[in-house]
Chains A and B, each alone.
Chain A
Amino acid sequence: MSDKAEILDTIAGLIRQVVGEDWIADVDIGMDTSFSDDLELESIEFVALAEHLQQVWGDRIDFVGWLSGMELDEIIGLRVGQLVDHVAGCLER
């Protein structure tokens, strides 16, 4: 499995944990999955996901710096793949 596939797998698991509803188990979470349109993630669930990511990767991922460059609509409108790419980029450094 490539690095990005592993990161996607981890993030998909965390999304399922944060959402915590039955339907999410059947959703195929891929790089193109939209947090807003496909998952309808609430903003507070996005924060919970961010907290989980930091528990997994700690200071190795710069989440705050990444968020500070974005408007709320951009954050909520992200695709899972953009988050995977960001994490992968941070881990490479």
Chain B
Amino acid sequence: MPRALNGEVGLHLALLGPEDARPPVVMSHGLLVGNLATWYLTCAPAVARSRRVVTWDLRGHGMSDRPPTGYDLPTMAGDLSTVLDLVSPDGSADLVGHSYGALVALRLALSAPRRVRSLALVEAPLSRADVAALTGWASVPADQLAAALPAALQADLDRGGRRARRLLQGLAALVTGTSVLDDVAAFPGLSDEELRRLSCPVLAIYGTRSACRPEADRLRRVLPTATVVEVEGGHYLPLEAAADVGSLLAGWLHA
């Protein structure tokens, strides 16, 4: 299994699609309950018919290391940069991200624009209030995490047993053993000025029933060159509307 190393932090990757298709598409998942399977088992195969697709576990998630700190966007954009070093000969890629993973990709596009050929942002929580609303449920004692889990993610718990136990163990270790909630609480939100600085092509996809949906209108206003699309569903679009999001991404990436 390929791993990228950012300092001491090992990051787990899983790759799909033709090896010789360059440059790669790199997909980043969302915080707390996501991992690379969020993309690998949903939208990635549609893109991987003709593109090399790289999915990776954010620090603290899936099979990546879980360091106690570094869950802020600049540090995690550094993680993503390390992934690009490993998978792209010239260090550039088309980026796709869901939720906080979209913010990580966006941060890299602002700090290292030459490395980012295009951005596809799925349910990007661009404001401080969006991020607070999406992660607030996890600020409960570890034994109350199960009850606090968003409804869209309750299915694994309802099935009970080993999978539910492991989901909750991983989640508890992350929220009680790392700075993740403090780091996301310190996110100031993206200003209009920052969004206007994006120089690459941008696709933004929002769910019609998501609390983040107003960001679609803001992007249309602030960044008129962006392609903004709304898809029937809530915040967890890669899981809720995998076929729709997969074909939008495949079209965007000419896959």
A and B: real partners? yes
Q: Count of chain A residues with Cβ under 8 Å from any Cβ of B?
A: 20
B119-127, B157-165, B181-189, B202-210 - the one binding chain A: B157-165
Main secondary structure of the interface of A (DSSP, over half): helix
Say whether A1 faces chain B, with CB atoms less than 8 Å apart.
no
Chain B residues with CB under 8 A of A42: 37, 163, 166-167
Q: Does B63 contact A (CB under 8 A)?
A: yes
Q: Are B37 and A43 in contact (CB under 8 A)?
A: yes
The answer to whether A46 and B41 touch across the interface, beta carbons within 8 angstroms, is yes
Q: A67 — which chain B residues lie within 8 A by C-beta?
A: 41, 45
Total contacts A-B at CB 8 Å: 57
Q: Is A33 an interface residue (CB 8 A)?
A: no
Per a CB cutoff under 8 Å, which of B45, B159, B167 touches A68? Answer: B45
Is the beta-carbon distance between A68 and B62 smaller than 8 angstroms? no
> Which residues in B have their C-beta under 8 angstroms from that of A63?
16
Assess whether A65 is in contact with B40, with CB atoms less than 8 Å apart: no
B45's contact among A40, A51, A64, by CB below 8 Å, is which? A64
Q: Which residue of A lies closest to B42 (CB)?
A: A72
* Interface, chain B (partner A; CB < 8 A): 1, 14, 16-17, 35-37, 40-42, 45-46, 48-49, 55, 57, 62-63, 159, 161-163, 166-167, 239, 242-243, 246
Is the beta-carbon distance between A44 and B48 smaller than 8 angstroms? no
Q: A43 to chain B: which residues have CB within 8 Å?
A: 35, 37, 41
Which of chain B's residues have a CB closer than 8 A to the CB of A50? 14, 40
Query: What are 13 pairs between A and B in contact, CB < 8 Å?
Result: A42-B163, A44-B37, A44-B57, A44-B63, A46-B41, A47-B14, A47-B40, A48-B1, A48-B63, A63-B16, A65-B49, A68-B45, A68-B48
The answer to whether B161 and A47 touch across the interface, beta carbons within 8 angstroms, is: no
Contact (A40, B41) CB under 8 Å given A47-B36, A51-B1, A72-B239? no
Out of A40, A72, A76, which one reaches B161, CB within 8 Å? A40
Find chain B residues with CB under 8 A from A36 CB: 159
- Assess whether A68 is in contact with B49, with CB atoms less than 8 Å apart: yes
By a beta-carbon cutoff of 8 Å, the part of chain A in contact with chain B is 36, 40-44, 46-48, 50-51, 63-65, 67-68, 71-72, 75-76
How distant is A24 from chain B, measured CB to nearest CB, in Å?
A: 10
* Bound Cα distance from A50 to B35, whole angstroms: 15
Q: Is the CB of B163 within 8 A of A64?
A: no
The answer to whether B17 and A40 have CB atoms under 8 Å apart is no
Given contacts A64-B49, A76-B41, 4 further A-B contacts (CB under 8 A): A40-B162, A48-B14, A64-B48, A72-B239
Distance (whole angstroms) from the CB of B53 to the closest CB of chain A:
9
Chain A residue numbers with a CB within 8 Å of B239 are: 72
B11 CB to nearest chain A CB (Å): 14
* 6 closest A-B pairs by CB: A68-B45, A43-B37, A40-B162, A67-B45, A44-B37, A40-B163
Assess whether A47 is in contact with B162, with CB atoms less than 8 Å apart.
no
Contacts of A40 in B (CB 8 A): 159, 161-163
Of B41, B42, B48, the most chain A CB neighbours within 10 A belong to B41
